[in-house]
Amino acid sequence: MMAWRQRWDRILPHLVIWPPLLVSCAYVLVFSVWTTWVSFTRSTLLPDYSWAGVRNYTAMLASRNWQIAFTNLFIYGACFVVLAMAVGLLLAVLIDQRIRGENLFRTIFLYPIAVSFVVTGTVWGWLFNPSIGVQKLVHDLGWTSFRFDWVIDRNMAIYTIVVAAVWHGSGFAMALFLAGLRSVDADLVKAAQIDGAGAWRIYTRVVLPTIGPIFVAVLVMLLQFAIKTYDLVVALTAGGPGLASTLPALVVYDFMFQRGELGRGAAAAVMLLGSLTVVLIPYAGFRAWQNRRGAARV
Amino acid sequence: MPQISRRAILAGSAAMLAIPTTPHAQGAGGAKPKVTVISQWSAGSDGAAITTLGKEFERQGGIWEHNPVPGFTTEMMNKLRAQIIAGDPPAASQLKGPEIAAWSKVGAVVNLDEQVKEAGYEAVVPAELARLSKPNGHWIALPIQAYRINTLFVSKKAADRIGMTSLPTTWSEFNAAAEKMKAAGITPVANGGIKWDDGMKWEIALCGISPDAYRKAVMELDAKTLQGPEVLAAFRQFRKLGEWSDPGSAGQHYSTFIPRYMKGDMGMLLMGGWAQGVFKNAGFQLSDYMVGPAPQDDGKVAFDLNADEFIFWQKKQPEFQQGQKLLAKIVMGKAFGPMYSQITGSLPVRTDTDLSDPGFSDGQREAARAMSEAVKANRVVLSLAHNMAQTNQIAAAMIDVLTEYVHDNRIKAEEGQKRLVEAVDSIR
Amino acid sequence: MSERLLARAAIYGALTLFAAFYLVPLAVVMLNSVRSTEDINHSSVIGLPSVYVWGNFAHTWSSYCIAEHCTGIQPYFWNSLRMVIPATVISTLLGALNGYSLALWRFRGDTLVFGIITLGVFLPEQMKLVPWAIVLRDLGLFNTISGLVLIHVIQGISFTTLFCRNYYVSIPADLLKAARIDGAGFFRIFWRIVLPLSPPILIVTVIWQFTGIWNEFLYGVTFSTGENQPVTAALIALSAQISQAPQYGQQSAAVLMAAAPTLLVYLFGGRYFVRGLTSGAVK
């Protein structure tokens, strides 16, 4: 009886742990492999499993849409991730100073994430529009030489998307950081205070290093935002002026569904994910190395 | 995974092989005729019109189930795609232009030949629409409404300010009027600047310069015409239209500008006939603007056509087959056009429709007259920007070139034309 | 002392500035929600109401006609709740469990498993549309709310696992060691030690899942029909189409009402951020 009980106790955790882990892995692997496979086929309106070689890839690489979108992704991705992280961390630290009205401020910073991308894009589109938005408002106040027309400037349109995306995502970064800051052992901070460390020192030396994994969570979260950005652009600039602010997710959707070129769209998606691994593989190596060190220590 | 694929292929080929059943076995089951319909018409006058169709369907003894997919055509097609994959297509769905031919290859469609013949329908619809509705020689889709793309709306207040009393009839008159407006501090062109709007401005320019060149270049993709002087002239006119637009038009829907347009701060709008319904819903009167055909250099009538259709998907259940017959009968009937078009502001597709009913506007009557004249003169062309002339794949590639061109003054007209030729070559 | 005062003033000043920036779009939408269509069409989408129109809310909530049903967004709103609550709860629980086992019960290959799961957050929605259609067909869940719940749970696990795992790794190893020496098993440790430490990350996870699923549009429209559609479908139906005059006032009212549940989650969840809760529970 006892033995059965013990064995059951040992097995049960595995029964609980494995199904969700396996399902999540299978989902990622099966869907990625399927898409990769389709990218090598002649699929048009529906999946069609006849082999097409690398034709879809060469066609996508040669298309202007893809070239512009891919360049934009780097500009937009870098600006958005850096800015949203900086703003998010700053807000989290400010809120963490035992301030009055924490609830109010936190809710104000967080609410944008509740607003869908379509609405975000539409409203920022109004504000950026020189004929009805901020520029007009300032003109009406009397400063008529004021110019704020990024949204119609081919070189600046992509930055309007950055602003709207930072507005949307930085609050969530703040929430994650705040959760992290509050997981820090209060004793550690107290000990540092007793040692006479200033606020800046406590943050840079004690607090931030312990929430390193939260940085990773925020980074991954923002990166996936950047890569998947779709509705925001559609509502804000519609990819324009011309094609100037298009992004890869728009190209994927455009080819897969609007043009009925499932194979080419899949090729674009695979290249998008492929470019991501360029960022992720060095990081994974770093983590593995760190883990080994960590394991040795424990 | 191979299992999934094999099953998909099997399902696909089974659907292809399915024999077009001729549903004469009515009454056997005694079930009421039924249709499931998907469209993107979920709200506003489009939603109201299709609801009216549903009510009529029910009045004639059917069961009507409409599943609108809100948003844009692409979302509607995603839904159709998903339902075809699931093996449960709707009895009928909204689809237009050459996509009818493309989609008829991925799912089994209903052959409507017999019913069309019985109704004598082919003789009363524009040949261009008949051609789109029977891609392989058999009727598989039915047109439900048409719009004229090459339509010009002039703000009454702006016209008054420059003393314009009638619409410009040629591009040079148009350009002269635009210069006058500009001098008077009016933004001459009130269009927006998103892809389809850009594509439309170019196509209206080309159609106004030469419908024959339009037919050859856009509909037949004739290489020589694409490189010819008419297309170049269209690019030049297109550039002017762009420069006369609001500097903030990039990425904007044309409706953003309606308030300024009606105030007389903006002058002329090149837009399909549906703009009338939009003005009406926005609270403006017919006296607020002038409407008529867009400039036509040769002075003869030309009609740039946009039309919506229903395609019919094969269903095994007899009640659906009966329902499809009933729906086809209603849509082809003489009463359908007035019923539907009076709500949406479109044109009935039957050229023998009487538009004297007070439910129609003068704008609709003028456009309908233009359509039947253009049909007789063989001067109907199909819209590029609204996916009537080419499959989405080709149209999208062409519109990409046009939208980049109009928003970038550094691209010369010759260069724009060259890029258009290259874009067509790369997918032809 | 005055230096401290200055620092406090700087903190509040910065927070207020940021708050103003975050509030501008909300103000625009709120103002529009009480303006009439004519008012907006005759001036601009940015401006003060000439007359306050409160009817926009009642009209969009219960009588606006979407797809032949003049029921407003109300029924779609309940559909969204029926979808979002189970999907959020299940995916958060599974994510906490996954995070716990990956962070604190290390096993061979755990990093690889975590890496694969994390990759899941990067898969673009567009890419997964057709495969999900095939999966739903094979499971017979096409056009059902359960089908949507399934999609959101499976896609959500990637996010929830990521958040929870990265939070749990900062739990001091000593705590667990002590518990294990006391003879506590897998579930006991989760229940007695890890869960009480979790409120901040669970609230983040819930916010993420709730808002993400609530605002999702593509799957909601593609994989459900008619009266089963989520509220986002209704919102899009209200928004501008090529041949429609935009109804900004009603749209704005609808947007505000649709965002209400998420805002409530923040307001009620907010107190779980409070510092001290964790240390109190552990010791």
Judge contact between A170 and A87, C-beta under 8 A: yes
Asked if B263 and B312 sit in the same domain, the reply is: no
B159-175 per-position pLDDT tens digit: 999 999 999 999 999 99
Within a domain: A170: yes
Judge contact between B79 and C142, C-beta under 8 A: no
Q: Is the predicted pLDDT of residue C156 greater than 90, yes or no?
A: yes
Q: How confident is the model at residue B26 (pLDDT cuts 50, 70, 90)?
A: very low
Stretch A71-97: mean pLDDT: 94
Within a domain: A114: yes
Q: Do B86 and C238 touch (CB under 8 A)?
A: no
Residue B22: the pLDDT is: 39
Residue B2: the pLDDT is: 36
Alpha-helical regions (H) of B210-294: 211-214, 223-226, 229-243, 258-263, 275-281
Mean residue pLDDT across chain C: 83
Residues C40 and C173: their CA atoms lie apart, in Å, by: 60
Residues B148 and B126: their CA atoms lie apart, in Å, by: 13
CB nearest to A116's CB, from C131, C215, C263: C215
Tell whether A239 is within 8 A of chain B (Cβ).
yes
Residue C1: the pLDDT is: 57
Owning domain of residue B51: 2-147+306-364
pTM of the entire structure?
Answer: 0.85
Residues A179 and A89: their CA atoms lie apart, in Å, by: 11
Asked if B284 and B359 sit in the same domain, the reply is: no
Cα A54 to the chain's mean position, in Å? 29
Q: Do A105 and C263 touch (CB under 8 A)?
A: no
Residues B314 and B108: their CA atoms lie apart, in Å, by: 6
Phi, psi of C229 (to 5 degrees): -75, 145
Within a domain: A298: no
Phi, psi of C247 (to 5 degrees): -100, 70
Asked if B224 and B324 sit in the same domain, the reply is: no
Stretch A106-132: mean pLDDT: 85
Rounded to the nearest 5 degrees, what angle is found at the Cα of C224, between the Cα atoms of C220 and C227?
105
Within a domain: B28: yes
Cα B1 to the chain's mean position, in Å? 40
User: Which of A280-294, B247-261, B301-315, C108-122 is the least confident region?
Assistant: A280-294
B230-281 per-position pLDDT tens digit: 999 999 999 999 999 998 788 788 887 888 899 999 999 999 988 887 787 7
Within a domain: A32: yes
Q: What percent of chain C has pLDDT over 70?
A: 90
Residue A17: the pLDDT is: 83
Stretch B394-406: mean pLDDT: 94
Between B325 and C204, the more confident residue is B325
Q: In sequence order, which residues have a C-beta less than 8 Å from that of residue A223 and are 6 or more positions away?
A: A77, A81, A276, A279, C122
Owning domain of residue A226: 15-289
**C interface test, pick of A28, A211, A290 with most C CB neighbours within 10 Å:** A28
Tell whether A29 is within 8 A of chain C (Cβ).
yes
C-chain residues within 8 Å CB-CB of A96?
275
Min distance B371 CA to chain A CA atoms (Å): 29
Tell whether B259 is within 8 A of chain C (Cβ).
yes
Neighbours of B224 (CB within 10 A): 8
Is the domain spanning C74-282 CATH 1.10.3720.10? The answer is yes
Calculate the dihedral angle through the C-alpha atoms of C84, C86, C89, C95, rounding to the nearest 10 degrees.
-90
Residue C245: the pLDDT is: 58
Residue C275: the pLDDT is: 57
Residues B181 and B37: their CA atoms lie apart, in Å, by: 47
Residue B292: the pLDDT is: 94
C43-73 per-position pLDDT tens digit: 677 778 888 888 888 888 887 766 667 778 8
A219-228 per-position pLDDT tens digit: 888 988 898 8
CATH assignment of the domain containing A264: 1.10.3720.10
Within a domain: A5: no
- What is the number of domains present in chain A? 1
Q: Do C169 and A213 touch (CB under 8 A)?
A: yes
Asked if B47 and B128 sit in the same domain, the reply is: yes
Angle between the N-to-C axes of helices A64-95 and A55-62, in degrees from 0 to 180, rounded to the nearest 10: 70
Q: Do A94 and C14 touch (CB under 8 A)?
A: yes
A196-219 per-position pLDDT tens digit: 888 888 888 888 888 888 888 898
Phi, psi of B386 (to 5 degrees): -105, 30
Q: In sequence order, which residues have a C-beta less than 8 Å from that of residue B252 and are 6 or more positions away?
A: A125, A129, B192, B193, B194, B246
Residue B266: the pLDDT is: 95
Asked if B164 and B281 sit in the same domain, the reply is: yes
Within a domain: A6: no
Tell whether A154 is within 8 A of chain B (Cβ).
yes
Stretch A86-99: mean pLDDT: 91
CB nearest to C133's CB, from B50, B82, B281: B82
Judge contact between B178 and B244, C-beta under 8 A: yes
Reduced to 3 states, what is the DSSP secondary structure of residue B293?
Answer: strand
Interface confidence: ipTM more than 0.85: no
Asked if B120 and B43 sit in the same domain, the reply is: yes
CATH assignment of the domain containing B180: 3.40.190.10
Stretch B349-376: mean pLDDT: 91
- What is the number of domains present in chain B? 2
For B401, the closest chain A residue by CA position comes to A242
Q: What percent of chain A has pLDDT over 90?
A: 35
Q: How confident is the model at residue C239 (pLDDT cuts 50, 70, 90)?
A: low
Residue A184: the pLDDT is: 80
Mean residue pLDDT across chain A: 86
Residues C192 and B108: their CA atoms lie apart, in Å, by: 60
A-chain residues within 8 Å CB-CB of C160?
none
Stretch A120-146: mean pLDDT: 83
Question: Which B positions 38-67 lie with beta carbon below 8 A of chain C?
Answer: 40, 42-48, 50-51, 54, 65-67
Task: Give me C177's structure tokens.
Answer: 């060691």
B-chain residues within 8 Å CB-CB of A244?
407
Asked if B213 and B232 sit in the same domain, the reply is: yes
List of chains touching A (3+ CB pairs within 8 A)? B, C
Query: Each residue of B96-126: b (16+ CB within 10 Å) or e?
Result: bbbbbbbbbebbbbbbbeebbeebebbebbb
Asked if B175 and B37 sit in the same domain, the reply is: no
Tell whether A231 is within 8 A of chain B (Cβ).
no
Within a domain: B228: yes
B218-237 per-position pLDDT tens digit: 999 999 999 999 999 999 99
Task: Give me A95's structure tokens.
Answer: 């809120």
Secondary structure element (H or E) that encloses residue B312, with its range: strand B303-312
A-chain residues within 8 Å CB-CB of B257?
131
Asked if B17 and B138 sit in the same domain, the reply is: yes
Q: Is the predicted pLDDT of residue B13 greater than 80, yes or no?
A: no
Q: How confident is the model at residue B177 (pLDDT cuts 50, 70, 90)?
A: very high
Asked if B160 and B223 sit in the same domain, the reply is: yes
Q: How confident is the model at residue C210 (pLDDT cuts 50, 70, 90)?
A: very high
